[in-house]
Amino acid sequence: MPNWKELKRFCERDGWTLVRSTDHDFYEKRLPDGRILRVKVSRGSKQIHHHQWQEILKRQLSTTEEYFNNMI
């Protein structure tokens, strides 16, 4: 499982825009079909729990684990 720093690195390398930074970082990415994806990234450095990671990957990032791993 990735950690929060790797998720932040993915967002930065994959063209996501940092839209807000509080105790978490909030990123957005506009897709060619007009959809806007949003992800909330903790500032911690711990590993993301398996179930939570599956939800982030599918619902927020809308990508595959293979693509994610290639980008980090």
CATH of the domain at 10: 3.30.920
Domain span at residue 33?
4-65
Q: Would 71 be classed as within a structural domain?
A: no
For the chain, the distance separating the N- and C-terminal CA atoms, rounded to the nearest angstrom, is 13
Q: Would 70 be classed as within a structural domain?
A: no
Tokens 């930065």 — which residue?
12
Q: Would 72 be classed as within a structural domain?
A: no
Q: How many domains does the chain have?
A: 1
Q: Would 58 be classed as within a structural domain?
A: yes
Q: Would 33 be classed as within a structural domain?
A: yes
pTM: 0.92
Judge contact between 41 and 27, C-beta under 8 A.
Answer: yes
Mean per-residue pLDDT of the chain? 96
* Per-residue pLDDT at 29: 98
Q: Would 24 be classed as within a structural domain?
A: yes
Q: How confident is the model at residue 28 (pLDDT cuts 50, 70, 90)?
A: very high
Measure the CA–CA gap between 58 and 67, rounded to whole angstroms: 12
DSSP line for 23-66: SEEEEEEE-TTS-EEEEEEES--SBPPHHHHHHIIIIII-S-HH
